[in-house]
């Protein structure tokens, strides 16, 4: 199963799962929940951090956190 950090810029996916202890609460509050669509907007140099969009929210997360979020590409 691919993880969020394995997506390419512009690629959309659906969140399929994550380790609840590994994600910051704020990320969950912003909609990073199973079944929600997520888009990788851009990767910074050396792929850290990642700029993502969840629903209408845009945010940057570290590659380590993105590797905890399993996704299914759309």
| Tens digits of residue pLDDT in 39-53 | 999 999 888 999 999
Establish whether the linkage from the previous residue to 49 is cis, with ω within 30° of 0: yes
How far apart CA 36 and CA 13 sit, in angstroms, is 8
Retrieve residue 10's tokens: 């512009």
Gap between the Cα atoms of 35 and 63, Å rounded: 21
φ and ψ of 24, to 5 deg: -65, 145
CATH of the domain at 51: 2.30.30.90
**Which pLDDT band holds residue 65 (cuts at 50, 70, 90)?**
very high
For the chain, the domain total comes to: 1
Residue with tokens 């590994």, as numbered in its chain: 22
pLDDT attached to residue 35: 94
What is the span of the domain harbouring residue 10? Answer: 4-73
pLDDT digits (tens, 9 = 90+) for 3-40: 999 999 999 999 999 988 888 888 988 889 999 999 99
Task: Assign 72 a pLDDT band (cuts: 50, 70, 90).
Answer: very high
């Amino acid at each position: 199963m691919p993880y969020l950090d394995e997506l390419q810029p512009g690629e959309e996916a659906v969140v399929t799962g994550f380790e609840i202890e590994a994600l910051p609460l704020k990320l969950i509050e912003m909609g990073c929940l199973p079944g929600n669509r997520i888009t990788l907007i851009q990767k910074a140099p050396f792929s850290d951090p990642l700029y993502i969009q969840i629903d209408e929210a845009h945010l940057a997360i570290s590659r380590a956190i993105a590797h905890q979020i399993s996704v299914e590409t759309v």
